[in-house]
Amino acid sequence: MSNRQSGGPNKGGNRHEVSKSIAAAATAAVLGTGAFAQDIAVIAGSVEDAFMDKIKKGVDDATHMVEANGGSVQYLRTQNYENFGPDLVTLINQAVAQGVDGIAIPIWVPDAQIPALNAAREQGIVIMQYNSGLPVKDDISAINYFGSDEYAAGFGGGKYLAENGATHILCHIQVPGAINLTERCRGVTDGAAEAGAKVTVLETPPNLDGDVTGTAEALKAEFIGDQSIDAMVSCADFGAAAGANAVEQTGLDIMVSAFDFSPATLDRIKAGNQTMAIDQQPYLQGFLATSMLFAHLKFGTEISTDPVLTGPAIVDASNVDAVVAGAALGAR
Amino acid sequence: MPTQSRTAARRSSLGALARRPETGSLIGFVVVFAFFAALGGPVFMGAPGWSSWLNIAAEVGIIALPVGLLMISGEFDISVGSIVPASSMMTAMLAGHYDLPALVAICGGLAVGLAVGFVNGLLVTRTTIPSLIVTIGVMFAVMGLTLGFAVLIKGSTSVSYVPTPMAKALLGQFINNMFNVAILWWLGFVAVFFCVLHISPIGNWIFAIGGDRESARNAGIPTSRVTIGLFMASGFCAAFVGVVQVMTYQQAQVAGGQSFIFNSIMCVVIGGVLLTGGSGSILGILLGTMTFAVVNQGVFFAALDPNVGPIIVGALLLAAVLSNDTFRTLALSAAAKKA
């Protein structure tokens, strides 16, 4: 993993998309901290979000490497998603106040986060982006991005379903209007179209978010209402539980799939109740964002691939056993 | 004398019906059902439609019953939102992680609800803190504990569990492939709560406490015991739904019960229960729950924009409170005329 990142001599040379000001800021950060310990903050989403636990596993593993080299990692999470933008800004300011040298952070709420991160960068703090917000990467002048591209992930998923026989796919969005979810379904639509299938997008109202029973019944109504639907992909993991239940209730032959997954997803894939899950490998995002931010600060490394996509990685019956093994260790 | 009053009752039966507290809820249900039946067509009127809204109604309905009783006695219970995931996590953890028998796991899950309810009741009766605040506090505490233990024990916020055939059949199967067995449990709970509120003396105590707690206590009603009992009932029912969800979807997650907080209160209020306590009925809560569920599912069968659902529910809520006031004024003025 480390053999591809010894790009010190290239610094500022072949990365044409990085503006001079960042290079200056990054250099200032490196010079400013010099031989002292490099402290970084990793900011993540809600403590209630199972997905974030896998990111944390990656951050924890990278922390060993950071600490072995005399640095430190602070892992900061929001309590929930109720007041998400302001909560994220609070965490950014907290990290700045504690004098960190770098911040690794996903961009979920650009309007709130971009000004706070630019203020942090003006104080010489280096920003590493992961998990979310690839389209606004340049606005915060992040040094790199580890995550999936929502559109590419959707494209891969839509293409997979169509190539496996789907002709009409239902794409379920659990939070209406969420840009990343809309991008996923746009990708599904284009990916499916390439293999000759059509896609209908279903946005369930926000009061059904997290409500498996309500979502299952909503999907059931859609499946019965339009019986040409022969596959579904949900933007939420619980949407697959709901979809599998709706399929069981209606007895229709519909392929169930979803973005991201939980232990129960793997059970369903093994049992044949779910066709596949589109993974973005959060472990890699946490691990790479943390270790590469630190390596950049401490050793001046650069990665010539930018952005670095950790997904889509399709989990289906063919590879589910390996994923189960990784899940048992908390990394998948 | 009895004959006379019966005749009088028959003569003014229409007036009496109009003054019953459930009338507003009944009208609401009929209007909403007719609306979606017209738009949803035969599919909504067939097994898929009925099962769809009944499955929703069963879960929220089981919680709405004790929440309604608490509101009649003048108390709120917000903590149900965190008891649902806490109990499902406990059940999945005991059975799926520690491999204990399903019965032990189910009892463990239900015990979580009873224990949280007991703490709620104790705090509400022993302190002067309003129940709204107490149960919000307890909700956050339970949420934190659920999360903490899940991560500590399992290293994850999600636990999967494949139930035994017996547990699945009793708590998580779909009859005729569509009707969740929880619907039958819900009807069972309705019967039990009907007896408690409208037949047993406890029912009168609950109304009395909601009307005026101080006078109720002076009249010799064990107000604290009734209140603690009601909170334990709502904890138990919320925990029951948590167990049902594990058996149905074979997984437990630390978040996900939040929707039950407002949904259960809405069912109760649409059902004609007075927010300030002292008035309400099981039939009303039942109708309120059915109305809520029909609106929630009807939009999908009627091919309306799904966002129309919450708008209708919100409008119904306001209409319910307004009509309750109207019917109550009617009832009071009629009673005054008789006197």
Residue A161: both structure tokens together: 């379903």
Q: Cα–Cα distance between B326 and B328 in angstroms, integer?
A: 5
Contact B306 A222 (CB under 8 A): no
Partner-chain residue, chosen from A53, A202, A222, that has the shortest CB–CB distance to B156: A53
- Residue of chain A whose alpha carbon sits nearest to that of B254: A48
* Domains of chain B, earliest start first: 22-327 (1.10.3470)
Q: How many CB pairs under 8 A join A and B?
A: 117
Q: Report whether B177 contacts A249 (CB < 8 A).
A: yes
Contact A48 B300 (CB under 8 A): no
Contact B255 A224 (CB under 8 A): no
Q: Map residue A54 onto helix, strand or coil.
A: helix
Minimal C-alpha gap between A282 and chain B (Å): 14
Partner-chain residue, chosen from B56, B249, B255, that has the shortest CB–CB distance to A241: B249
CA distances from B249 to A321, B86, B180 (A): 21, 15, 12
According to DSSP, the β-strands at A313-316 and A276-279 are antiparallel
Q: Which of A204, A224, A238, A273 to mutate to test binding with chain B, by most B CBs within 10 Å of its CB?
A: A224
pLDDT at B72 > cutoff 80: yes
pLDDT for B13: 66
pLDDT for A21: 54
pLDDT for A2: 36
- Residue of chain A whose alpha carbon sits nearest to that of B262: A207
Average pLDDT over residues B152-162: 83
pLDDT for A36: 62
Fold agreement between A2-148+281-301 and A150-279: yes
Average pLDDT over residues B252-275: 88
* Nearest residue to A21 via CA among A121, A102, A145, A103: A121
Q: Cα–Cα distance between B283 and A272 in angstroms, integer?
A: 43
pLDDT for A34: 44
pLDDT at B169 > cutoff 70: yes
Q: Report whether A169 contacts A154 (CB < 8 A).
A: no
Angle of CA points A30, A31, A32, to nearest 5°: 95
> What phi, psi does B221 have (nearest 5°)?
-80, 130
Q: How confident is the model at residue A177 (pLDDT cuts 50, 70, 90)?
A: confident
* Nearest residue to B287 via CA among B25, B68, B18: B25
Q: Map residue A201 onto helix, strand or coil.
A: strand
Average pLDDT over residues A158-175: 95
Question: For chain B, what percent of residues have pLDDT higher than 70?
Answer: 92
pLDDT at A10 > cutoff 70: no
**For B73-83, what is each residue's pLDDT tens digit?**
999 999 999 99
Partner-chain residue, chosen from B251, B256, B310, that has the shortest CB–CB distance to A207: B310
Q: How confident is the model at residue B330 (pLDDT cuts 50, 70, 90)?
A: confident
- What is the torsional sign of CA B295, B296, B299, B300? negative
Looking at domain A150-279, its CATH superfamily turns out to be Response regulator (3.40.50.2300)
> What phi, psi does A126 have (nearest 5°)?
-90, 135
CA distances from B53 to A68, A216, B174, B296, B302 (A): 58, 11, 14, 8, 13
CA distances from A320 to A249, A265, B248 (A): 25, 10, 23
Contacts B249 to A, Cβ<8 Å? 212, 241-242, 245, 264
pLDDT for A14: 46
The CATH number for A2-148+281-301, chosen from 3.40.50.2300, 3.30.460.80, 3.10.180.10, 3.40.710.10, is: 3.40.50.2300
Q: Cα–Cα distance between A265 and A259 in angstroms, integer?
A: 10
Mean pLDDT estimate for chain A? 87
**What is the DSSP track for B198-264?**
IISHHHHHHHHHHH-HHHHHHTT--HHHHHHHHHHHHHHHHHHHHHHHHHHHSEEESS--THHHHHH
Chain A window 183-212: which residues touch B at a Cβ cutoff of 8 Å? 202-212
Q: Report whether B194 contacts B282 (CB < 8 A).
A: yes
- Residue of chain B whose alpha carbon sits nearest to that of A214: B56
Residue A202: both structure tokens together: 């279903």
Better-predicted residue by pLDDT, B85 or B253: B85
Q: How confident is the model at residue B300 (pLDDT cuts 50, 70, 90)?
A: confident
pLDDT for B310: 81
Say which DSSP state A37 is in: P
Minimal C-alpha gap between B143 and chain A (Å): 9
Average pLDDT over residues B321-339: 71
pLDDT at A108 > cutoff 80: yes
Residue A302: both structure tokens together: 């650069």
E strands along A149-240, which residues? 168-173, 198-203, 231-234
* Nearest residue to A180 via CA among A47, A311, A19: A311
pLDDT for B7: 45
**For A13-66, what is each residue's pLDDT tens digit?**
444 544 555 555 555 444 444 446 789 999 998 877 778 888 999 999 999 999
Contact B174 A248 (CB under 8 A): yes
Q: Report whether B37 contacts B294 (CB < 8 A).
A: no
> What phi, psi does B100 have (nearest 5°)?
-80, 160
Instruction: Check if A221 contacts B (Cβ < 8 Å).
Output: yes
Considering just the CA atoms, what is the radius of gyration of chain A in Å?
21
- Token pair 């790199």 is found at A144
**For A212-256, what is each residue's pLDDT tens digit?**
999 999 999 999 999 999 999 999 989 999 999 999 999 999 999
**For A250-280, what is each residue's pLDDT tens digit?**
999 999 999 988 888 999 999 999 999 999 9
> Which residue ranges make up each domain of chain A?
2-148+281-301, 150-279
Residue B316: both structure tokens together: 């119904």
Maximum Cα–Cα distance across chain B: 71
pLDDT at A92 > cutoff 90: yes
Average pLDDT over residues B166-174: 92
